Structure 1
Amino acid sequence: MSRFDSVRRWYQTYEKFPKTTGIISAIALGLLGGLAFFFRLGSIGLIDETEPMFADAARRMLLTGDWITPYYNGETRFDKPPLVYWLMAIAYKIVGVNAWGARLPSAFAALGLMILLFILLRKFGFGTIAAAADPTSPKSQRQLWLAAWIGSSLVALNLQTIVWARQGVADMLLNGCFSGGLICFFYGYGSGGKAINRWLPNSWYIAAYVLLACAVLAKGPVGIVVPGMVILVFLLYLGKFREVFTEAKPLMGTIIFLAIAAPWFVLVTLRNGQAYIDSFFGYHNVERFTGVVNGHNAPWYFYFLVVLIGFLPWSVYLPGAIARLQLHRPSLWRQAPREAHLALFAGVWFWVVFIFFTIAVTKLPSYTIPLLPAAAILVALFSSYGIETPQRLSKGFLGSAIANVVFGLILSGFMLYSPRVIGDDPAAPDLAATFAQSNLAWWGFGIWLVGSLMLIAMVQRRSPLGIYLSNSVIMVALIALVLLPVGALIDQERQSGLREIAHLITTDQRPNEAIAMVGFEKPSLVFYSGQDIHFINPDQEDGIAAINAIATEANPSFLLITGADTLGELPLADKTVETLLERKPYQLLRVERQ
């Protein structure tokens, strides 16, 4: 018997060998998560502007031993709670103060989410309500394995997760805790919700309380408000609010939640008072929901585009996956057993997150990350049912597959055009030209074109498994051959010069010599130089005065980073200027009073 025959025989009967199938699944999850989240994670430097702010705040916590008040560039940084800084600082202790350490919390959060989603779908990933009535049948077991494989892989194989899991910011950590809390809640709910004793709820409910408390420590009130809304809408829809409220032991849950989430908020408020309350709760939470912060406004349909593009190629299956829920028929779901409710829960989860952030006035692509696990569940259930019942393949699935092909062909053409749509970035003036010369656009074109041809063949054969595998191959190829090289190219064009400047600062800076950057604000300089930097906007009224005030009699020289276009506009005629380093578009200068 050939090796191929052995594999085929195993695939035809894998539900009969759960231990072997589990080991293979664990290895596959590890390899996929390793490629998507950890492979070459620290090979490129921190990317301006947000990532180095987080990384530097964590560095300062480690340096000063102040684990309560975050600081960046000599000032308090109240944008986010401390969990991401704490985890980064722990990573720094293990692997050093570098980009790898700054990104490890995000990568592990994404990997943990993959694992939790696999566990959830392996237990409750029934394609239909009827399948839940006989969970031990071979057919149901096959579908549970398929749903677990597909759903967990979808978490890794989409653009949004890959991007945010490889950045040292709070968004993926929030997603891991937020989504992990919802997964644990449903596992406890679907398992019957039996309490440990009269005081303690089901252990999965306890895990949900812990993870949602961590979500609050990751990004604030959104970590409990939005998941709480998901659970509330889900239970009200089913008419099970009182039943689950009782079994979840909310008093003990509140104690667990507050014991984890509250102490830091109390301590930071006692230390910083109204300044913290106004900045964190007022500006970074209330104002982000009710008004536009930092110019991040967008039209009402913004998140339709974000989900469509960010979750490609799987997003084209979402309309069909949502339509089959039949949300207009609550009686259908109320008559079903709890273990059959996962699809409904995922649908509620998706729409609550989507609608909440659509209503919010400030809009950013990262805000929709917490709905991606719900989207993965919906598509996994849709696809696994199609794979196990190809003879009853729905028009909705076929229509989605055709749309998949169309988008693939469109994207293959777009890849050739992509160098022309790269916007003008003063920090990387040659980026578009370098990208065009790199042949990465041609690689993207080839991957999408070949992938689309594979999809056409699978659609003609009406093979949902072939469609899923084709899309997976496309995404793995894009990660390895396009996305990771693009990241390296951006680092080369946009960040490497700044790191060289920062390195020279650390070796050539005179004692007590101040550093200023004019016309740009690049936090990576703060992180890599380990110094506070004066960021000055020359167009502001006090900008020129700020430049003149840097040099003093006690410290007559300072280091200046600026661009060639800006240099001629600065009041330096009465000063001696020495060029230390030029890295397009920046110049590092030493300016001395005469």
Structure 2
Amino acid sequence: MRGPASDVRRLSESRLAWLFLVALVIFAAGVGLRDPWPADEPRFVLNALEMIETGNWLIPHRGGEAYPDKPPIFMWASAVSILATGSVRLGFLLPSILAALGTLWLVVDITRRLHGRRIAMLAGLALIATVQFALQAKLAQIDMLVTFWITLGAYGMMRHALLGPARHWWLIGCAAMGFGVITKGVGFLPLLMVPVWTALARRGDAQPLPAWELLAGFGVVLAAIAVWVVPMAMYTTASGDPALLAYRDNILLRQTAERYADSWGHLQPWYYFVVEVAPWAWLPLWLAIPWAVPNWWRRLRRGDARTILPLSGVILILIFFSLSPGKRGVYLLPTVPLLVLALAPMLPGLLDKRGPNWLATGFLVFLGGLLGTAAVMGWTGFEPLMELSEKHDATPWPWLAFLAAAMIGLLARLKPRRGAMALALWLGILWPTVGLFAWPDMNDSRSPRDLMRHVVEITGEDAWLAVHDFGEEFLLQTRQPTVHFSYHAQDGQEALRAFDWLQQAPTKRWLLIAQEHDGLIDCMDRSEAHDLGFQNSQHWWLFPGTAAAGCEGDPDAAPVFVAPTSLRRSPYL
């Protein structure tokens, strides 16, 4: 006989099923409606297509050149997704969507075990509503997958530390950290919480972590890393190829310790994440911080390990990335699931408090009012907005007005006393709107698909094309045999090599170059140039090889790489 407890359990499971359905709609809305866009997306899709085309799955390549910036797990996932769907447009976003759903399941499950089903439901909604999490779930960048590995590592740790003993989960978490390392290097981040775990265990607030378990965990991390690193190192070392040896040294040394300690790009001050990233990335979670801090302090004093452990992860990851001179906003993404876990037991009380709801209402009015004002000004021909619209070949006024109307409708229905829920629901409307309307509207300006079609119409599909200072999106969309002169070559060296390359077969070779490099091509005959207009934030020119007759080239200035995907038009594009 089915009793009341069974009915409650079935109701709870039904609500959780609806939670994941809502998440799928939010994350997947717009799949198939756009091409891969910069930054990063075309690069990883190009890596994946070259793996499929060449059969080399061990070392990622970009336009025929080894790509040493990231390990290959995300590229593998992209390649498998493209093969499974038969389409780049359908497949390239799947790894991020599935990783986001996996992360959501981990957060909901551990919250259910620690705090019960009702709070687990609220934690899941909070995670879906968090701006950076939903945004990255809809982008084909590497960070959502590494966040899944990091969250699984923390999940395994918490299953053992807070709900254990559960050594198998600790080891599963360690394996996840290792796979996270060969996804983006920082998969080990949950290990930063081990000292906090040890301190809690000494107070009797958590399951102890004996030295042998810690060492076994480290061994599992290293074994997972070795799955790719060992065969890669053996292959590159045995090859004797200077390019492959340079790849090995770059991926193992320069892209890890050197990049962290002495970063050469994305340089930001130490307070960057707290001041410039968290206020938008943690929205709407950060609206609760003023009320959460006193609660965290009380839980810290009484040794509530269920809150202290995930909160320590947020703080330690924030400190870890802040200490490096190189910073990107997306580095903060792994803190979002942990922040939700730290806030989870407070969510029912916070939703009933007047302060957080009124603060959320004010923020929602600000966002909706801003978008509504932009829609009205755009429709009435406000010149700066019209210039922006023309530059990006987009007309966003209808969907901006829709979002403003959604704000008004939600607040009219829920009132300011439920402002936090109204803000969360509005964000839930925002992302499908972006995917279904904004993405298709912006695709022509973010993807050079049409430009590369136009190039083929001018040159003929059998003509060879060189792309100077290339972006991966151009190699991805090329429709003819295409070369480049190394991603790492200096612009001047690329130009010298391009002139020599063009002069070898001037009637069959062409050069695509952005107007910003105008000074490098003073020697070329401008009367032969084709003006291709504005694309991907740059103005483009197309020159036949005959236009370089008066230029002095250098065959040794830079290497020439042939893009394998350009030799046979990919059936997946």
Cα distance in 2 for partners of 1:296, 1:55 equals 27
Q: Which ranges of structure 1 fall in alignment gaps of 5 or more residues?
A: 1-12, 126-143, 195-200, 391-396, 422-427, 460-465
1:499 to 436, 439, 449: 449
Whether the aligned pair in 1 keeps the contact of 2:201 and 2:209 (CA below 8 Å) is: no
The separation in 2 between residues aligned to 1:99 and 1:246, in whole angstroms, is: 48
Cα distance, 1:82 vs. partner? Answer: 1.3
Q: 1:369 and 2:328 equivalent?
A: no
8 Å CA contact 2:60, 2:72 repeated in 1: yes
Q: 1:448 to 1:383 in 2, by over 3 A?
A: same
Match among 400, 417, 427 for residue 475 of structure 1: 427
Does the 8 A contact of 1:517 with 1:536 survive in 2?
Answer: no
Q: Does 1:204 align with 2:155?
A: no
The question of 1:353 aligning with 2:317 is answered: yes
SS in 2 for 1:263: helix
DSSP-derived class of the 1:249 partner: helix
Greater alpha carbon shift after TM alignment, 165-174 vs 252-261: 252-261
Q: 1:573 to 1:265 in 2, by over 3 A?
A: closer
Matched, 1:21 2:11: yes
Q: Which residue of 1 aligns with 2:365?
A: 409
SS at match of 2:23: helix
Q: 1:284 aligns with which of 248, 255, 272?
A: 255
Q: Which amino acid aligns with 1:98?
A: V
CA contact 2:196–2:309 (8 Å) conserved in 1: no
- Give the superposition deviation at 1:453: 5.3
Deviations 1:460-492, CA, capped at 9 Å, x for gaps: xxxxxx445323321122123346533333323
Aligned to 2:544, what secondary structure does the other structure show?
strand
Which of 528, 532, 544 is the matching residue for 1:591?
Answer: 544
Whether the 8 Å CA contact 2:65–2:486 is kept in 1: the answer is no
Indicate the residue corresponding to 1:139 in structure 2.
Answer: none
Following the alignment from structure 1 to structure 2, what is the Cα–Cα distance between the partners of residues 525 and 118?
Answer: 41
Cα distance, 1:149 vs structure 2: 0.9
How far off its partner does 1:193 sit?
Answer: 0.9
Counterpart in the other structure of 1:43: 33
Q: Aligned pair 1:523/2:464, yes or no?
A: no
Structure 2 counterparts to residues 389-428 of structure 1, below 5 A:
397-416=353-372
> What is the aligned residue count?
525
**Partner-residue secondary structure (3-state), 2:141:** coil
Aligned to 2:288: 317
Match of 2:60 among 43, 66, 70: 70
Summarize deviations over 1:105-148 as a string: whole Å, max 9, x none: 111000011111111111102xxxxxxxxxxxxxxxxxx22211
SS, match of residue 515 in structure 1: strand
The residue aligned with 2:79 is 89
Q: CA deviation at 1:100?
A: 2.7
Which residue, out of 381, 401, 406, partners 1:442? 401
Q: Separation in 1 of the partners of 2:154 and 2:265? A: 30
1:216-258 CA distances to partner (integer Å, 9 max, x unpaired)? 12112x211x210023323325536996322983344344333
Q: Which residue of 1 aligns with 2:119?
A: 147
Q: Superposed, which structure 2 residues align to 1:297-308 within 5 Å?
A: 297-298=268-269, 300-308=271-279
Structure 1 window deviating more from structure 2 (226-235 vs 102-111): it is: 226-235
In the TM superposition, what is the alpha-carbon distance from 1:532 to its structure 2 partner?
A: 4.7
SS in structure 2 of the partner of residue 17 of structure 1: helix
Structure 1 counterpart of 2:228, one-letter code: W
Provide the residue aligned with 1:180 in structure 2: 152
CA distance in 2, matches of 1:431, 1:267: 50
Contact 1:556–1:592 (CA under 8 A) maintained in structure 2 = yes
Answer yes or no: is the 8 Å Cα contact 1:575–1:591 preserved in 2: no
Cα distance change on mapping 1:398 and 1:288 into 2, 3 Å = farther
Q: Which amino acid aligns with 1:268?
A: M
Corresponding position of 2:381: none
Could you tell me how far 1:384 is from its partner in structure 2?
Answer: 2.3
User: Counterparts of 2:276 and 2:229 in 1: how far apart (Å)?
Assistant: 36
Residue 118 to residue 564, structure 1, CA distance change in 2 (3 Å): same
Residue pairs, 1:188-227, within 5 angstroms? 188-194=160-166, 201=167, 203-220=168-185, 222-224=186-188, 226-227=189-190
Shift in CA distance, 92/265, structure 1 to aligned 2, threshold 3 Å: same
Letter in 2 for 1:236: A
- Helix, strand or coil for the counterpart of 1:439? helix
Are the aligned partners of 1:175 and 1:369 in contact in 2 as well (CA < 8 Å)? yes
For 1:33, the equivalent position in structure 2 comes to 23
Check conservation: 2:512, 2:542, Cα contact below 8 A: yes
The Cα shift of 1:161 comes to 1.5
Alpha-carbon distance, 1:358 to partner? 1.7
Asked if the contact 1:536–1:546 (Cα under 8 Å) also holds between the matched residues in 2, the reply is no
Mean Cα deviation higher: 443-452 or 93-102: 443-452
Structure with greater contact order relative to length (CA < 8 Å, sep ≥ 6): 2
Name the SS for the 1:169 alignment partner.
Answer: coil
- Quick one: structure 1 residues 156 and 556, their matched pair in 2 at CA, closer, same or farther if it must change by over 3 Å? same
Report the equivalent of 1:197: none
Distance 1:92 1:539 in 2: 33
Checking the alignment, whether the CA contact within 8 Å between 2:78 and 2:91 is kept in structure 1 is yes
Q: What secondary structure, in the 3-state scheme, does the structure 1 residue paired with 2:511 have?
A: strand
Contact 1:544 1:571 in 2 (8 A): no
2:173 alignment partner AA: A
CA contact (8 A) 2:530 2:541 kept: yes
1:487 maps onto 2:458 in alignment: no
Q: CA deviation at 1:215?
A: 0.9
User: Could you list the runs of 5+ residues in structure 2 that have no partner in the other structure?
Assistant: 238-244, 379-386, 550-573
Of 226, 244, 252, which aligns to 1:262? Answer: 226
